[in-house]
């Protein structure tokens, strides 16, 4: 069994395993990490050999940590990263490069259609009807998108949203509210088989699925990092946030919204959570809490989007595609039958 794991912000960790009678019978760790002293590598391999094949990533990390003396220095990886790569080998996890990725370019859609299309495309990937896909969004009207488990009354001032013509909708994934004025945000979705994140914790999978974005932003001169659980940040503030949904069909939906430009004062009129977080700092602090990409680069929104797509294409390959008529028809039906209903919108009043 063989697996690779690129530690977000760190190095590549590679493992080759053999399993005999439900236990790891041989192990060879490799990678471009740094480890001192040299012979600690054999201590790591020895710690893994003999573990049950059903060991969790935490079990493997604990065994490795216990086997190493306090003077061992690990740079670019950790016992937790070793646990992850071992689990990925045992579960036959895949990598980005194992797939033929399809790209769906941004097309203006109504907020309810955006919510429904996310579910439809993820389910199509899970059913094997479409390959792994990267989609960039475009909005036909401004919107507030709340997380699957958020309370409408606690998170959104509906009168404030109506004042600015913002439609309020609920998505299938968890996380916080998204404030989406036209032309002010960059949103993308990844639709992938669950095997891509096999062996990873939810926290690890967030950083893993967005590592290409961190690389792309750094290519624009932005000192971008990933802050657990789900934020993309810079030294001067939050750039964006991610949300994720694992579907029973065998797919993972992962989507991210990054601020390109924003009116922080207006956000406070619409999002109640924004008021609460900023109540002790003053209204102007909302503009400091979020770090828009326009301020970093001076580039047009489409130029940044093109750079993101180009980065993904250079790393993993990406062929141009699109939403099929059948997928769009299903999304429009789902928008009406599910996402527009009071039962869905007020599932948490």
- Answer with the one of 90, 111, 128 that is the final residue of a domain: 90
83 & 121 share domain: no
- Both tokens of 281, joined, read 């700092």
Q: What is the pTM of this model?
A: 0.90
281 & 325 share domain: yes
28 & 145 share domain: no
67 touches 96 (CB < 8 A): no
Tally the C-alpha atoms within 13 A of residue 214's C-alpha that lie toward its C-beta: 23
39 & 179 share domain: no
Output the pLDDT for position 284: 45
299 & 258 share domain: yes
The residue to which tokens 């036909």 are assigned: 140
279 & 187 share domain: yes
pLDDT tens per residue across span 246-268: 987 899 999 999 999 988 889 98
> What residue numbers bound the domain in which 55 lies?
2-90
Domain tally, the chain? 2
50 & 107 share domain: no
pLDDT tens per residue across span 143-188: 999 999 999 999 999 999 999 999 999 999 999 999 999 999 999 9
CATH code, domain with 28: 3.30.390.50
Residues in the chain, pLDDT under 70: 273-289
CATH code, domain with 179: 3.30.930.10
152 & 184 share domain: yes
Output the pLDDT for position 285: 41
Output the pLDDT for position 249: 82
């Amino acid at each position: 069994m063989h697996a690779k794991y690129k530690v977000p912000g760190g190095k590549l960790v590679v493992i080759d395993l053999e399993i005999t009678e439900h236990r790891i019978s041989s192990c060879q760790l490799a990678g471009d990490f740094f480890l001192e002293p040299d012979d600690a590598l054999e201590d790591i391999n020895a710690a893994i050999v003999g573990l049950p094949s059903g060991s969790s990533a935490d079990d493997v990390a604990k065994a490795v940590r216990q086997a190493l003396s306090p003077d061992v220095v690990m740079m670019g990886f950790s016992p937790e990263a070793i646990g992850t790569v071992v689990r990925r080998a045992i579960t036959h996890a895949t990598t980005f490069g194992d797939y033929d990725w399809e790209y769906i370019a941004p097309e203006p859609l109504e907020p309810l259609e955006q919510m429904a299309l996310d579910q439809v495309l993820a389910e199509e990937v899970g059913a094997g009807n479409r390959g792994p896909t990267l989609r960039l969004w475009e909005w036909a009207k401004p919107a507030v998108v709340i997380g699957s488990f958020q309370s409408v009354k606690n998170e959104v001032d509906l009168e404030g949203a109506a004042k600015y013509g913002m439609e309020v909708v609920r998505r299938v994934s968890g996380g916080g509210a998204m404030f989406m004025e036209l032309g002010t945000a960059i949103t993308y979705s990844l639709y992938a088989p669950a095997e891509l994140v096999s062996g990873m914790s939810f926290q690890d999978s967030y950083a893993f699925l967005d590592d290409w974005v961190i690389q792309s932003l750094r290519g624009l001169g932005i000192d971008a990092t990933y802050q657990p659980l789900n934020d993309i940040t810079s030294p001067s503030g939050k750039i964006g946030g991610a949300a994720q949904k694992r579907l029973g069909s065998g797919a993972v939906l992962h989507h991210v919204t990054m601020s390109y430009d924003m009116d922080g004062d207006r956000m406070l009129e619409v999002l109640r959570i924004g008021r609460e977080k900023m109540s002790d700092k003053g209204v102007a602090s909302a503009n400091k809490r979020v770090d828009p990409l326009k301020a970093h680069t001076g580039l047009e929104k489409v130029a940044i989007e093109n750079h993101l797509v180009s980065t993904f294409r250079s790393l993993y390959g990406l062929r141009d595609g699109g939403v099929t008529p059948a997928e769009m028809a299903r999304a429009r039906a789902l928008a009406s039958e599910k996402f527009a209903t009071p039962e869905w919108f007020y599932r948490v009043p």
